[in-house]
């Protein structure tokens, strides 16, 4: 792949001074691919964590135990109303300093690395939005549906898992798409704790080769394509899940 495009970009650099070093330098090429790979892994993990938190939190909000509801409400308010970057630093430096170290046979490594903390911190941040999104979906499920399930002998838990949740997910899918896209963008924050995702690896390239404008173009392009792909996937899911009689 690189052999194929390298001559063109090398000539571009020589003739116009546009230095797209990742497209002819094999070391920078490796950094670019690594950055994209880590970024995609990071985004997938963050979305997974935030969805789990969203479902569990929304379920907990329907709980009959008051303190549980308060706890979820406090979680939402704290994480939605404080800066995500400070949350990330708090998790990585604050909590990272007191997590146990693992003996790697000669040296010690923290149990959770920067990638892990980025997933946890941004996942929890995104989860606080997802709880609200799922809650709005759950509230939109008609009471009569739930009552019908109740009359068929479903337990509260089974009603949530088999009746409420599947309908709620369909209702809140558009809002969920928005949040997933915004989470994918927020994943670039992991730069501050040196997770080698795309922003971090490209910043390494532009510090080495002094080609900020070119790398910026790449970075913008990467995120725009990424957002388009996510939006496409979500709209396919929306079509697949569409129920007759719900939505358009």
Partner 1 sequence: MIPNWKVSRVTWRAPVLAAGLCLAAALAATAQDGGAARPSALASLVIWMPFILKGFGLNLLMSVLAMGFATVMGVILGFMQISPVALIRVPARLVTHLFRNSPWLVILFAIMLLVPFQMTLPGVGRVMIPDWVKATFGFALPVMANISEILRGAVLSIPSGQWESAESLAFTRGQTLRHVILPQCIRRMLPPWMNWYALLTLMTPMAAILGVDEALGNTQAAMEAAGARPEFLIPFYLFLMTIFFVFIYPLSVYTRRLEKRFAVAS
Name the residues that contact partner 1, by CB under 8 A. Answer: 61-62, 64, 69, 73-74, 76-78, 80-87, 89-90, 93-95, 97-98, 132, 138-139, 143, 146, 181, 185-189, 191-192, 199, 203, 206, 212-213, 216, 219-220, 223-224, 227-228
Pick between residue 24 and residue 191 the one whose CB is nearest to partner 1: 191
Minimum CB distance to partner 1 smaller for 21 or for 187: 187
Query: Minimum distance from CB of 222 to partner 1 (Å)?
Result: 9
The distance of closest approach from Cβ of residue 82 to partner 1 in the complex, given in angstroms and rounded to an integer, is 4
Which backbone phi and psi does 82 adopt, to 5 degrees?
Answer: -125, 155
CB of 4 to partner 1, least distance (A): 28
Interaxial angle between packed helices 212-241 and 198-209, expressed in degrees from 0 to 180 and rounded to the nearest 10? 160
Q: Shortest gap between Cβ of 187 and partner 1 (angstroms)?
A: 8
Residue count of the chain, please give it: 248
By beta-carbon proximity to partner 1, the closer residue of 16 and 144 is 144
Contact 88, 189 (CB under 8 A): yes
Q: How far is the CB of 25 from partner 1 (least distance, A)?
A: 20
Using the structure block, give the residue that is written with the tokens 């690189």: 2
Q: Which is nearer to partner 1, 12 or 192 (CB)?
A: 192
Treating both helix axes as pointing N-terminal to C-terminal, what angle do 165-186 and 212-241 enclose, rounded to 10 degrees?
180
Between 69 and 158, name the residue whose CB sits nearer to partner 1: 69
- Nearest approach, Cβ of residue 132 and partner 1 (Å): 8
- Please list, residue by residue across 202-217, b when 16 or more beta carbons sit within 10 angstroms of its beta carbon and e when fewer do: beebbeebebeebbee
Q: With respect to partner 1, which residue has the nearer C-beta, 49 or 88? A: 88
Give which of 51, 58, 84 is closest to 72, Cα–Cα: 58
Q: Taking the complex as a whole, how short is the minimal distance between the CB of residue 3 and partner 1, in angstroms?
A: 30
Select 84 or 113, whichever has its Cβ closest to partner 1.
84
How far is 6 from 37, CA to CA, in rounded Å?
Answer: 21
Long-range contacts of 237-243 (CB under 8 A, 24+ apart): 237/173, 238/173, 238/174, 238/177, 241/169, 241/170, 241/173, 242/170, 243/167, 243/170
């Amino acid at each position: 792949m690189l052999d194929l495009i390298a001559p063109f970009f090398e000539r571009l650099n020589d003739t116009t001074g546009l230095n797209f070093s990742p497209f002819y330098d094999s070391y920078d090429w490796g950094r670019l691919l690594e950055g994209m790979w880590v970024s995609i892994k990071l985004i997938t993990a963050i979305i997974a964590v935030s969805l789990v938190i969203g479902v569990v939190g929304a379920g907990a909000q329907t709980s009959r135990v008051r303190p549980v509801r308060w706890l979820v409400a406090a979680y939402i308010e704290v994480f939605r109303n404080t800066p995500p970057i400070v949350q990330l630093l708090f998790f990585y430096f604050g909590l990272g300093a007191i997590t146990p170290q693992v003996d790697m046979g000669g040296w010690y490594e923290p149990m959770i690395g920067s990638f892990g903390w980025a997933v946890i911190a941004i996942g929890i941040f995104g989860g606080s939005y997802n709880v609200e999104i799922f809650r709005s979906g759950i509230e939109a499920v008609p009471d009569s549906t739930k009552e019908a399930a109740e009359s068929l002998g479903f337990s509260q838990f089974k009603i949530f898992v088999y009746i409420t949740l599947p309908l709620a997910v369909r209702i809140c899918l558009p809002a969920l798409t928005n949040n997933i896209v915004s989470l994918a963008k927020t994943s670039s924050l992991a730069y501050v704790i040196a997770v080698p995702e795309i922003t971090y690896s490209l910043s390494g390239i532009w510090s080495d080769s002094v080609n900020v404008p070119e790398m910026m173009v790449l970075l913008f392009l990467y995120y725009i394509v990424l957002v388009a792909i996510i939006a496409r996937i979500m709209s396919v899911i929306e079509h697949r899940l569409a129920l007759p009689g719900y939505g358009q």
